[in-house]
Amino acid sequence: MQSDGEGSSEPDQQAEFNAIGAIKCKMSPEELCNTNESVKLLPFVKEIYALSYGSEPDYNKLIMLLVKEMLNMDIAPTKEYDWNQNAMVEMKQ
């Protein structure tokens, strides 16, 4: 909570987050990927949207779609992820 006497904005932020999520759930892949940058993810998003509840994703295909776009952007895919860096540092100590 804030110490200045004003209430926390956390509930408002959560409500906003939930409202945005509900709107995005109703959008098509084309509506979600409508910028020059995000359109690069359109094949990946279409593949995700094609999944039915409980179906097993084709992970190799999903990885290939992402790697293909990375290569198109001249980015070399690696197995190092930014969220693993802290864990890697801790493991080395």
pLDDT band, residue 5 (cuts 50/70/90): very low
Domain ranges within the chain, ordered by starting residue = 10-80
Closest by CA position to 50, among listed 64, 34, 61? 61
Distance CA 41, CA 90 (A): 33
3-state secondary structure of 4: coil
pLDDT for the residue 80: 73
Distance CA 15, CA 9 (A): 10
- Mean pLDDT (whole number) for 2-14: 65
Query: Would you tell me how many other CB atoms lie within 10 Å of the CB of residue 44?
Result: 19
Using a cut of 0.85, tell me whether the model's pTM lies above it: no
**What is the distance in angstroms between the CA of the first residue and the CA of the last residue of the chain?**
36
Cα radius of gyration rounded to whole Å, the chain: 19
Summarised one tens digit per residue, pLDDT across range 25-38 is: 899 999 999 999 88
Q: By mean pLDDT, which of 1-5, 18-22, 48-52, 53-57 is the weakest?
A: 1-5
